[in-house]
Amino acid sequence: QVQLVESGGGLVQPGGSLRLSCAASGSTSSISRLGWYRQAPGKERELVSSISTSGTTEYADSVKGRFTISRDNAKNTVYLQMNSLKPEDTAVYYCYCMRFGAQYWGKGTLVTVSS
């Protein structure tokens, strides 16, 4: 089993920045992909970004150029640097990882972008 704990969410004004962190614990060996989904009120959960063990990244079109994902394999931690935040980025952000074909989820952290 893998446990994921997110941190870094909060309230930020439009145009501001936040950095989310997600620390993995438990059976962390052989974790392959790490990433972030988000779910806004009344909407389906959507993939924001993910990163492979080798550092290959992917981003949703809506966040390209504004968000940057990174990982520290030694610390089993993934980060999401979010810049130029918009009100439509408001959502609960969930960390996830893949390990031997199984997907694990964190409990989520709320990001609110509002003036």
Q: 10-residue block means of pLDDT along the chain (115 residues)?
A: 95 98 91 95 96 94 98 93 98 96 96 97
What is residue 93's predicted lDDT score, i.e. its pLDDT?
A: 98
Cα-based distances in Å from 5 to 28, 42, 87? 13, 24, 24
* Per-residue pLDDT at 28: 83
18: how many CB neighbours lie within 10 A of its CB?
Answer: 21
CB 33 within 8 Å of CB 52: yes
